[in-house]
A and B are shown apart, each in its own frame.
Chain A
Amino acid sequence: MSDIKSWIEEQVKSNDVVLFMKGSTNFPQCGFSGQVVQIMDYLGAEYKDINVLENEELRQGIKEFSNWPTIPQLYVKGEFVGGCDIIREMFQSQELQTLMSEKGVVTTVA
């Protein structure tokens, strides 16, 4: 496994919730990343944001890591949950909230 993939694996294993995105939570540089930030902030879950625009190797590596061609990508307890469309659908149907609580991730919204 390449260095970048080991690094990604380390991130998703050592943090309960990780969002790979374009830009930062304070300044998303893509509307789709921004939508997921809004959902995560609404849920009040602690998460680590990683800006893929800072590193071209990471930007490509994350796509191969998950076999998923687009960014943002959300990981909960080491497991890939989905991109913007899936996260939004799961949030709207409460499935995301259920998943978080089943995995023991603390949120401020029931």
Chain B
Amino acid sequence: MFEHSTLISVQVRHGQAEDQKHYFPQASSTIMSITHKIENKLNEAFRPLRLEVIDESEQHRGHGGWKEGGETHFRVKIVSEKFSGMNRLARHRAIHDALEEELKGAVHALVIEVSAPHD
């Protein structure tokens, strides 16, 4: 059914983050969630072969930087050809640069799993 297939495609695209948003209706009711902004910026900057942006805020409930509503602690899993020939620091710095606005703002913690296809 249409509704069923829509739900599946959304979950595949956003992974765990989408599951967690069900508990935080206010996070998904904003015009564009931080999760979406991060996805858009990383897609644009790196044209990744694989990208997963996961909101892990719930695991940090009550810890430093955590806020009600989530979207403070993220994990990014990204595979892109653009990281070929870059060392670990350069890869992380490239991602920090792409997400500068978010890191200076609402995002308190960002776990990065980055690789190039032929690592």
Q: Which residues of A come within 8 Å of B, CB atoms?
A: 22, 29-32, 67-70, 80, 82-86, 89-90
Q: Does B64 contact A (CB under 8 A)?
A: yes
Which residues of A are found within 8 Å of B96, using beta-carbon distances?
Answer: 68-69
Q: State the interface size on chain B (CB cutoff 8 A).
A: 16
Give the contact stretch, choosing among B21-29, B78-86, B108-116: B108-116
Inter-chain contact A69/B63, CB cutoff 8 Å: no
- Give 17 A-B contacts (CB < 8 Å), ordered by A residue: A22-B64, A30-B63, A31-B63, A32-B109, A67-B93, A69-B103, A69-B104, A70-B103, A70-B109, A80-B89, A82-B89, A83-B92, A84-B111, A85-B113, A86-B88, A86-B92, A89-B88
Inter-chain contact B64/A90, CB cutoff 8 Å: no
Contact for A29 among B64, B93, B104, CB less than 8 A: B64
Which residues of B are found within 8 Å of A30, using beta-carbon distances?
Answer: 63-64
- Shortest beta-carbon distance, B87 to chain A, in Å? 10
Given the known A-B contacts A69-B103, A70-B109, are A82 and B64 also in contact in the complex, defined by CB atoms under 8 Å? no
Q: Which residues of B come within 8 Å of A, CB atoms?
A: 60, 63-64, 88-89, 92-93, 96, 100, 103-104, 109-113
Which residues of A are found within 8 Å of B109, using beta-carbon distances?
Answer: 32, 70
- Shortest beta-carbon distance, B79 to chain A, in Å? 15
Tell me what chain B mostly uses at the interface: helix, strand, loop, or mixed.
helix
Contact for B111 among A80, A82, A85, CB less than 8 A: A85
In the complex the two chains form, what is the Cα distance from A89 to B112 in whole Å? Answer: 11
In the complex the two chains form, what is the Cα distance from A84 to B93 in whole Å? Answer: 14
Known: A30-B64, A69-B103, A85-B111. 19 other contacts (CB 8 A): A22-B64, A29-B64, A30-B63, A68-B93, A68-B96, A69-B100, A69-B104, A70-B103, A70-B109, A70-B110, A82-B92, A83-B92, A84-B111, A85-B112, A86-B88, A86-B89, A86-B92, A89-B88, A90-B88
Inter-chain contact A85/B64, CB cutoff 8 Å: no
